[in-house]
């Protein structure tokens, strides 16, 4: 099961977070939310497998300062 670890304010931020987590060996999926016609400026959920959620939070809090 996938778990949301962060809700990014736009696609660019979500892609940056995905790269950070992928570099650490985590699987990452991005899921757009909000109003579709906003395109890249719409919010995007960053998801990881439930078993990797705690590790993802640790990585993001130390690397990205979320």
Q: Tell whether the model's pLDDT for residue 59 goes beyond 80.
A: yes
**What pLDDT, in 10s, does the model give residues 35-56?**
666 666 789 999 999 999 999 9
Q: Tell whether the model's pLDDT for residue 66 goes beyond 90.
A: no
| DSSP letters for 1-60 | -EEEEEEESSHHHHHHHHHHHHHTT---EEEE-S-GGGGGGS-EEEEEEGGGHHHHHHHI
Tokens representing residue 4 in the block: 């949301």
pLDDT at 41: 73
pLDDT at 63: 84
Split into its structural domains, the chain has a count of 1
Using pLDDT thresholds of 50, 70 and 90, give the confidence band for residue 26: very high
User: Residue 5 — φ and ψ, nearest 5°?
Assistant: -110, -15
- Domain span holding position 40: 2-64
State the CATH number of the domain containing residue 43.
3.30.70
């Amino acid at each position: 099961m996938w778990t949301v670890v962060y809700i990014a304010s736009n696609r660019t931020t979500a892609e940056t977070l995905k790269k950070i987590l992928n570099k650490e060996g985590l699987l990452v999926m991005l899921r757009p939310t909000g109003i579709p016609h906003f395109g890249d400026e719409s919010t995007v959920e960053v998801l990881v497998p439930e078993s990797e959620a705690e590790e993802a939070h640790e990585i993001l809090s130390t690397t990205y300062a979320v």
